[in-house]
C-alpha cells in the first residue's frame, strides 16, 4: 500500500560509485545511507510526520555485464504514533480516521517526491540490460 519498489541496471559502473552518488542525493533529502550487509544499504529519515518516517532500502545483485540495483521505498511507524492512534480510535473515532487519512496522504506524497529525486544523481548511468536474442528451437521429437 505504501511500499514502492524499483529496479535499474547499471553497466560498466562500480557499485561503490553508484551507491556513493545515491547516498549524496539521499543526504540532500535528509536521509542518511548506511551499509547493513555486503550488498545491502538502508537510509532512514530522522524527521517523522504523523509518526511515519520514510525509509529506503538498496540491494545490489551482480550480473555478467554489470549489476542490478533494487530499491524499496517504505515507511516506519513510531511507537508513540501507534499508541496515539489506538487511544484516538477508542475515545474519538472520527479524529482517528481523519489522522490516519492525513498521515497516509502525507507519507505517500513524501515517498513520491523522494522517488522522483532518488534517481537524479545516477540517471546518466542507467542502461537497459543487454540480453542475447532468444533462439527458438523445435523440441525433440516434434516434426
pTM score above 0.85: no
The per-residue pLDDT for range 40-97, each reduced to its tens digit, is: 999 988 888 888 888 999 999 988 888 889 999 988 888 787 888 888 888 888 888 8
Is the pLDDT reported for residue 130 higher than 70? no
Q: For position 35, what pLDDT does the model report?
A: 92
H or E segment and range at residue 6 = strand 4-10
Q: How far apart are alpha carbons 116 and 1 in whole angstroms?
A: 18
More confident residue, 17 or 80: 17
67: nearest Cα among 108, 25, 8: 8
Residue 132 φ then ψ, to 5°: -70, 150
What pLDDT score was predicted for residue 83? 85
Q: What is the pLDDT of residue 36?
A: 93
pLDDT of res. 1:
59
Rounded percentage of the chain residues whose pLDDT exceeds 70: 88
List of domains in the chain? 4-123 (3.30.310.80)
Name the burial class of residue 68, with classes exposed (0-12), middle (13-18) and buried (19+) by CB atoms within 10 angstroms of its CB: middle
What pLDDT is recorded for position 114?
86
Q: What is the mean pLDDT of residues 34-38?
A: 92
**Backbone conformation region of residue 87, classed left if phi is above 0, alpha if psi is from -120 to 50, else beta:** alpha
CA–CA separation, 97 vs 117, rounded Å? 30
Amino acid at each position: 500500500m505504501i511500499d514502492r519498489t524499483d529496479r535499474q541496471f547499471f553497466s560498466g559502473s562500480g557499485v561503490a560509485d553508484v551507491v556513493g552518488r545515491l547516498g549524496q542525493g539521499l543526504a540532500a533529502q535528509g536521509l542518511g545511507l548506511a551499509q547493513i550487509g555486503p550488498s545491502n544499504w538502508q537510509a532512514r529519515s530522522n524527521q517523522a510526520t504523523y509518526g511515519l518516517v520514510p525509509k529506503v532500502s538498496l540491494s545490489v545483485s551482480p550480473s555478467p555485464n554489470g549489476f542490478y540495483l533494487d530499491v524499496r521505498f517504505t515507511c516506519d511507524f513510531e511507537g508513540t504514533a501507534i499508541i496515539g492512534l489506538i487511544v484516538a480510535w477508542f475515545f474519538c473515532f472520527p479524529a482517528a480516521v481523519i489522522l490516519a487519512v492525513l498521515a497516509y496522504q502525507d507519507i505517500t506524497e513524501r515517498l513520491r517526491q523522494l522517488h522522483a529525486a532518488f534517481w537524479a544523481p545516477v540517471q546518466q548511468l542507467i542502461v537497459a540490460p543487454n540480453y542475447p536474442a532468444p533462439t527458438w528451437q523445435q523440441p525433440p521429437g516434434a516434426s
